[in-house]
Structure 1
Amino acid sequence: MTEEYEAVEWSGSWVSQRLGVELVGDDGLKELLGLALRRNPKRAHLLVSHVLGKHVPQKPSVVYGHGFALGERVRELLGTEEAARAVVLGYAETATGLGHSVADGLGLAPYLHSTRRPVDGVDPAGGFEESHSHATSHLLLPEDPKLLAGEGPLVLVDDEFSTGNTVLNTIRDLHERHPRKRYVVVALVDMRSPADLGRLEVFAREIDARIDLVATAGGTVRLPDGVLEKGQALVAHHETTPSGTESPETASSRVTDAGAAGDAGPAGDEGDEARGGSVVRVELDWPAGVPDGGRHGFTPAHRVELEAALPRMARRLAEALGTPEGRATPQRVLVLGCEELMYAPLRLALELERATTAHEVEVRYSTTTRSPVLAVDDPGYAIRNRLVFPAHDDPADGPGDRYAYNVTGSGFDAVVAVVDSTADTPSLHAPDGLLAQLAAHVPHVVLAVLPSHVPGREPMHVPGRESMLPEPLRGPDFSSYAPEEVGWLLQDLSDVELEAPTEEREEAIQSGGAHYAESLPVEYQPSEQYQELFHAALDTSAARIARAVGAVTDTVLAELPLRRGRRAADPQPRPVLVSLARAGTPVGVLMRRWAQHRHGLDLPHYAVSIVRGRGIDANALRWLAAHHDPADVVFVDGWTGKGAITRELADAVAEFDGFDPEIAVLADPGGCVRTYGTREDFLIPSACLNSTVSGLISRTVLRTDLVGPSDFHGAKFYRELAGADVSGHFLDTVAARFDDVADAVDADVKELLSADRAPTWVGWAAVERISEEYGIHDVNLVKPGVGETTRVLLRRVPWKILAKRGAGADLDHVRLLAAQRGVPVEEVDDLPYSCVGLIHPRFTRGATGADGKAVATP
């Protein structure tokens, strides 16, 4: 029983006593359901859920928790492998939010719900009838037609499973188009009659598929003879003398913008006083590009973006519900969704509930509906009162009345009405519209409008902001590389002060006070001696690097048709090189130059940000998917250490369709990838410097106050360091050796293509061993390989360096930097890398080395 209607009587007793209707079944069934009556020629009674969030206001955590728990049960039923292939389909209008919550619990499955709103320019991918409903036609309008065409399990979610007709109609329609072997039916309650219990099994045999059913509780409704006629008569009697129906109010709403008073909004009436409370409009800054629901499909990537934006939007709601002059802070708030728009308001309500718990604010959630239900103000009846208002969702079945139940008389001192922009019409703001109705009974009404997602249209219409997916940044405006060499899918933060002293950064990172990607180290300015060492190392290793560049590029070109499922005889594979900024960017440029010089291929090349612990830039992947076939994308990095970024990329890309998570690297000493130029740990001179060998671009930045849900990750362009820039010199020196190594590359590629290149993860094992042997107990503080060790000495506060006994000139720059930082170098045996840099976890602020610079002390 919900807190709003907690009483001695069951909320179905009024109907049961007058019509003889009985609800029998599992323990707790009556806590999930009440009864009401409706004017319907096919079924007089209505099962009213206390946990669905449709007719009865309920705690958002309770509503979301029931759907999420059902999704977890489905995941357990299917198993990990099958659950990863599942698609979830919810039913309009009552189960759109429930189905979405099930998809969350299932493990971030793609989601679609049926709709009764036709959308211009969108062709249905299916449809079916709901025979007992007052509005029967369902449309399926996925933006991606392939969403329902897969072979994985289809999970169908409704609030109530009664006769099974709706589910059978759905499966029959979809199975004819795209047959599959498994379906799962999910409902809050399984209320089939004994006569209907075997229908699913018979139908499953008929289509040669398995159909499972998962429900929170089960039971049935016992109906006496003549109940339909008696119910209709009872409804007619009470409608002539209503006890819980509110008549339309004539007051209109004063709608103001929470951020700019006096702005009535797109359809608001300005200057009229509401008879009751006020109406304030709040701009939530909904994440651009994220659909407002599952009408056209909702992907796991969309969900990730929404999760990131929810806390910010909840803060905006809390501010709009705050304490203006003359009004007390609300203590009881209802977040009211709109018909099929259930999931987004639910998630906003849930985040608001979490954010305001400490302030003793009670948050409840429900939605409006097109379903006409009799209201009776009796504690034994589930629908105590109702508001009636004209439809304001123009495309959805035209004009007519709409309803909000159990809102008045429930003690709410604020209501947040959440609609999509399609439903933000003059009817919403009319004198008898929903806003005026709410304002007549509740002191404070907040209107939040979400942008309606329409397939094929530009999804970003956020005032004052650029499109979420701008064109890539290119030199010379951003980076010293030529514009055709690389496009940076980043935003320019050059004017933001992001640098912090190394000692302060290390203390904040290790204490958990800040993530390493939230700030930048002060750019290291190498001494004249160190610069000489860089140039000498480049001259010595240029041919070795060129050979590795050629080997990895030609391996990619040779295997792309097979890896991407194309014809092996395709003469012109065209990979899209996507380097992981910034260490991967010089390598990506060199691979592009090799493909052009040796094969006449002009390959696109972009740089994107990936952050350990935070994942890859999702907006960058969306841009790539919009401009290229994801199957052509080849991720590029400089080298592997222990493989943390390899794993990070695999996890991040799993949320997106079509991308291959494998990384192509110049050197793979850690044994973490299968596409590489070499597995030797040798000096790649681009690791010796920072921005001055990487196009004058900083390491990437991900900080919530600078990077919003609709932004690319950020980075800085250090224009002021142009005099020290050797980025072009590095590239030209290596590219000049391409012809010299061509024959060796051909032999290398022939050997690579026939070799077993499966990852061995030998580096990860070594890192774990070193972490324990040296008492560090954190693999993130063990940085293996020449490149990573160099980074430790340039950016972090190192403790000591482990050097492989007998390592030669490849470590000259490491020894020089270590001496400058006062860091000991310890020679060791049995090391799969040339060297390993250690950062001690017990960092002590203020410790310095021989040069007076900060070091870490145990």
Structure 2
Amino acid sequence: MATKAPWSGQWVADRLGVALHGDGQDGPGGLHELLGLALRRNPKRAHLLVSHVLGKHVPQRPDVVYDAGHALGLRVRELLGPDADRAVVLGYAETATGLGHTVADGVGAVPYLHSTRREVPGVAPGGGFQEEHSHATGHLLLPEDPALLTGTGPLVLVDDEFSTGTTVLNTLRDLHARAPRERYTVVALTDMRSAADRARLDAFAAELGARVDVVALATGTVSLPDGVLAAGQALVAAQEAAAAPAGPAAGPDGAAPAVRVDLGWPEGLPDGGRHGFRPEHRQRLEAALPAMAARLAAAVPAGARRVLVLGNEELMYAPLRLAQALQAALDARAAADLSPAGAGEAVDGAGRRPEVRFSTTTRSPVLAVDEPGYAIRSAILFAAHDEPADGGSADRYAYNVAGAGFDAVVCVVDSAGDTPALHAAGGLLAALAAHTPAVLLAAVPSYRPRTKGLPPSMSEPLRGPDFSSYEAEEVGWLLKDLSEVELEAPTEEREEAIQHGGAHYAESLPVEYQPSAAYQELFHSALRASAERVARAVGTVTELVLADRGPDAVLVSLARAGTPVGVLMRRWARHAHGLDLPHYAVSIVRGRGIDRNALRWLAAHHDPTAVMFVDGWTGKGAITRELAEAVADFPGFDPEIAVLADPGGCVSTYGTRDDFLIPSACLNSTVSGLISRTVLREGLIGPDDFHGAKFYRDLKSADLSGVFLDTVTDAFAQANRGVREDVKALQAQDRSPTWEGWAAVERISEEYGIGDVNLVKPGVGETTRVLLRRVPWKILAQRGAGADLDHVRLLAEQRGVPVEEVDGLPYSCVGLIHPRYTRGATGAAGTAVTAP
């Protein structure tokens, strides 16, 4: 006769005298079936009620976890009657985020929101409250739609268990003060309040003048002997050595051997209820789950019998639903293998089908004791892979995973947590790899709410093919379309107006240079020769950006020279890491700053701390300084610029500090998506407009934008090895800006009697711009510079500009603009010339 397993709270009960009382505690559905006991590492409370149906500390069948919350939701719907359709459900972080969501599913087509401990820059809290007994007490409410918290319908509050009801009181106090309601319903798996606590809630409801109902799967009380807190702390101290959490095991080179699975998560679908989850979101999720589960099932090893889907702290609902769908997909695979045509590999000798379990990681420190009568048998300790906003511990835990015999673990995180720390030797993936043969990683995109209130002119970025020749997903242009406006002026006319104070260079556009056949051939030759070098610089700078900003990095290129580079960096992130980084192009104007409306748009749609500005190269660093001043009024934005080449020593994020030819510098719009320089002119750009630009559709036959991108992209594979070497070397050295280029520019300005550093344009890229757009005076070339300057020499010859070879330049070349230009002047320095 089989011996009945001991209750999973008996070990604590025997040693501390803690006991549960109520609701058929030893029968089906009773307290002992729902709850076990463990000891907290927490000075505020000795014991922890460990739920067997929550899916947090104890791996459980996903249908059991889902059905427990869904059943509570059905009871709430019955209680509320017709008012149920007007309800909003609010769950508590981190433990009840998934439970609250399943309750909302049971209530019906109602919106769901959960509190969070993660601050989201740019999103104003709609409320907050404290949870006194917790190790991490602060809760934030960050709804995308504030109306979720200001409506008049019933509010349903969901927590995993009620011990004293204090957290509920704190929540009601905060929310009722902001937007009073007539009815509240509080829901939990277990209600363990004392009679005094129940009376306290009744009195508080009367004080509010509102109805407050309580719904729970089971009710009872916890009896705690005197001195239990001190006794519990002593018992924890005595057990610490024997119950040390299992540490991580490093894979090759310290990296965890995880297999990444692309879920195909629907674009724009929230990953949970942190900012609100509406009925239409649920419909989209239901429709997408079978396909996502099929991708997971295809990655699960064929012989796996026990599979754990492991969620991550507040991310509980999405992994739970994936676990349910994965069970169905594995069942279907096993059934197919059992068919007459199948081989039966998915079923073992006892005829068991694969089984899926679900649980999540947590920040709660709990003692692990490997005893049958204790609820937490094992603990995996790993380093946090997010940014703890509450100042809490950087340690995280996964309980009852080690030693549980899982053949595979599917780790589900949101993209904000898919950081280098997750993949490091002390991270979660390495820790899991020590306890299961197969680790899979599925990252769900972190949802970023859209901030309302932006004017219609700032609704969405412009995209190809309607604006630019780039593919729509390659870049979004935060610009105003001025394609139908006549903005071009002759080069000499613009130069005279700019130098004599009659106009700013951004108020008009130069006539687009149309290259000769010889010059076009020179471009193609330069591209063939430098593609791998450019690819290596692209890979290097992208890896540095990902190391700094993480997988949620947002690339914001400075139009237009930065845009091809931003597109290439986005392609590298996809090539090397399977990431689809958002990429936008914005305008920055020397002397007038960056487009402030573009920054407002970015802050409303993305985390400003994730933004990395991108440019092609640095010259003397004027734009670097301009950007630093421009973003000072926008919290969260870092003015650092990532560039391919930093010969002037102006930034710390670069692919190289060599001054080499980046072929996109050879041309204007025909290598930049057929987009003009940006324009900022009163009368064209209003207070609610982005800066403007033109799309030169008529130059489509001459467009080489795709040729440039594809040629460099094709060289990614060859550049891989060099990128690894460059990144390792750069990360080991001091990359602080030296501003060597600025000092050289000041010296040249003085030596040549120019008197204005803005007329000295250092580097291959800037020199090319001088020859294409301005009135050049002369070109200084580093003595012995080779093929990188062939196009410079050709342009200088076409424009009758002398090239002077000099020693001691920190750049390959420097372009000097005519310092006192007036049309019709004579002499080598002042002869009016026509752009080639």
Which of 43, 46, 49 is equivalent to 1:44? Answer: 46
Aligned to 2:251: 252
**Whole-angstrom CA distance in 1 between matches of 2:248 and 2:289:** 34
Provide the secondary structure at the position in 2 that maps to 1:112: strand
**Whole-angstrom CA distance in 2 between matches of 1:29 and 1:357:** 32
Q: How far did residue 457 of structure 1 move?
A: 7.8
Provide the secondary structure at the position in 1 that maps to 2:184: strand
CA contact (8 A) 2:254 2:424 kept: no
Which of 281, 292, 295 is equivalent to 1:313? Answer: 292
Aligned to 1:61: 63
**Whole-angstrom CA distance in 1 between matches of 2:400 and 2:3:** 13
Provide the secondary structure at the position in 2 that maps to 1:373: coil
Q: How far did residue 218 of structure 1 move?
A: 0.5
Aligned to 2:407: 413
**Whole-angstrom CA distance in 1 between matches of 2:312 and 2:3:** 25
Aligned to 1:450: 444
Query: Measured at CA, do residues 17 and 451 of structure 1 come closer, stay the same or move farther in structure 2, by a change above 3 Å?
Result: same
The C-alpha deviation readout for 1:556-587, integer Å capped at 9, x for no partner, is xxxxxxxxxxxxxxxxxxxxxxxxxxxxxxxx
Provide the secondary structure at the position in 1 that maps to 2:168: helix
What are the equivalent positions in structure 2 for 1:392-791 lying under 5 Å apart?
392-397=385-390, 400-456=394-450
Which of 350, 355, 361 is equivalent to 2:354? Answer: 361
Which of 325, 335, 340 is equivalent to 2:314? Answer: 340
Provide the secondary structure at the position in 1 that maps to 2:69: helix
**Amino acid aligned to 2:412:** V
Q: How far did residue 437 of structure 1 move?
A: 0.4
Q: Does 1:295 align with 2:289?
A: no
The C-alpha deviation readout for 1:373-405, integer Å capped at 9, x for no partner, is 000000000000000001111154356100000
CA contact (8 A) 2:72 2:187 kept: yes
Q: How far did residue 194 of structure 1 move?
A: 2.0
In the superposition, the TM-score normalised over structure 2's length comes to 0.50
**Whole-angstrom CA distance in 2 between matches of 1:108 and 1:446:** 33
What are the equivalent positions in structure 2 for 1:166-205 lying under 5 Å apart?
166-205=167-206
Q: Does 1:371 align with 2:364?
A: yes
**Whole-angstrom CA distance in 1 between matches of 2:87 and 2:234:** 46
Aligned to 2:125: 124
Stretch of structure 1 that moved more, 337-346 or 34-43: 34-43
Which of 32, 40, 50 is equivalent to 1:30? Answer: 32
The C-alpha deviation readout for 1:577-611, integer Å capped at 9, x for no partner, is xxxxxxxxxxxxxxxxxxxxxxxxxxxxxxxxxxx
Query: Measured at CA, do residues 469 and 294 of structure 1 come closer, stay the same or move farther in structure 2, by a change above 3 Å?
Result: farther
Provide the secondary structure at the position in 2 that maps to 1:416: strand
CA contact (8 A) 1:33 1:48 kept: yes
Provide the secondary structure at the position in 2 that maps to 1:71: helix
Query: Measured at CA, do residues 471 and 430 of structure 1 come closer, stay the same or move farther in structure 2, by a change above 3 Å?
Result: closer
**Whole-angstrom CA distance in 1 between matches of 2:5 and 2:138:** 39
**Whole-angstrom CA distance in 1 between matches of 2:294 and 2:112:** 27
**Whole-angstrom CA distance in 2 between matches of 1:116 and 1:311:** 31
Identity %: 69
Q: How far did residue 7 of structure 1 move?
A: 5.6
Aligned to 1:88: 89
Query: Measured at CA, do residues 468 and 76 of structure 1 come closer, stay the same or move farther in structure 2, by a change above 3 Å?
Result: farther
CA contact (8 A) 2:255 2:424 kept: no
Aligned to 2:373: 380
Q: How far did residue 31 of structure 1 move?
A: 0.2
**Whole-angstrom CA distance in 2 between matches of 1:472 and 1:160:** 54
In the superposition, the TM-score normalised over structure 1's length comes to 0.49
Count matched residues.
435
**Whole-angstrom CA distance in 1 between matches of 2:119 and 2:46:** 28
Structure 2 regions of 5+ residues with no counterpart?
25-29, 335-352, 453-459, 467-603, 605-836
Q: How far did residue 273 of structure 1 move?
A: 6.7
**Whole-angstrom CA distance in 2 between matches of 1:38 and 1:57:** 19
CA contact (8 A) 2:138 2:390 kept: no
Q: Does 1:281 align with 2:260?
A: yes
Provide the secondary structure at the position in 2 that maps to 1:231: helix
The C-alpha deviation readout for 1:230-289, integer Å capped at 9, x for no partner, is 0000001111x223621343x136xxxxxxxxxxxxxxxxx6675xxx410000010111
**Whole-angstrom CA distance in 1 between matches of 2:33 and 2:228:** 24
Query: Measured at CA, do residues 47 and 248 of structure 1 come closer, stay the same or move farther in structure 2, by a change above 3 Å?
Result: same
**Whole-angstrom CA distance in 2 between matches of 1:468 and 1:102:** 38
**Whole-angstrom CA distance in 2 between matches of 1:173 and 1:119:** 20
**Whole-angstrom CA distance in 1 between matches of 2:278 and 2:373:** 42
CA contact (8 A) 2:254 2:425 kept: no
**Whole-angstrom CA distance in 2 between matches of 1:15 and 1:98:** 26
The C-alpha deviation readout for 1:599-638, integer Å capped at 9, x for no partner, is xxxxxxxxxxxxxxxxxxxxxxxxxxx9xxxxxxxxxxxx
Aligned to 2:242: 242
CA contact (8 A) 2:388 2:394 kept: no
Aligned to 2:810: none
**Amino acid aligned to 1:135:** A
Q: How far did residue 356 of structure 1 move?
A: 1.9
CA contact (8 A) 1:288 1:468 kept: no
CA contact (8 A) 2:115 2:274 kept: yes
**Amino acid aligned to 1:305:** R
CA contact (8 A) 2:243 2:367 kept: no
CA contact (8 A) 1:10 1:34 kept: yes
The C-alpha deviation readout for 1:723-746, integer Å capped at 9, x for no partner, is xxxxxxxxxxxxxxxxxxxxxxxx
Query: Measured at CA, do residues 147 and 44 of structure 1 come closer, stay the same or move farther in structure 2, by a change above 3 Å?
Result: same
**Whole-angstrom CA distance in 2 between matches of 1:372 and 1:159:** 17
**Whole-angstrom CA distance in 2 between matches of 1:128 and 1:247:** 34
**Amino acid aligned to 1:252:** G
Q: Which runs of 4+ in 1 moved over 6 A?
A: 467-473
Query: Measured at CA, do residues 22 and 289 of structure 1 come closer, stay the same or move farther in structure 2, by a change above 3 Å?
Result: same
Structure 1 regions of 5+ residues with no counterpart?
254-270, 324-328, 459-466, 474-625, 627-858
Query: Measured at CA, do residues 86 and 470 of structure 1 come closer, stay the same or move farther in structure 2, by a change above 3 Å?
Result: farther
Provide the secondary structure at the position in 1 that maps to 2:370: coil
Q: How far did residue 455 of structure 1 move?
A: 1.3
Provide the secondary structure at the position in 1 that maps to 2:86: coil
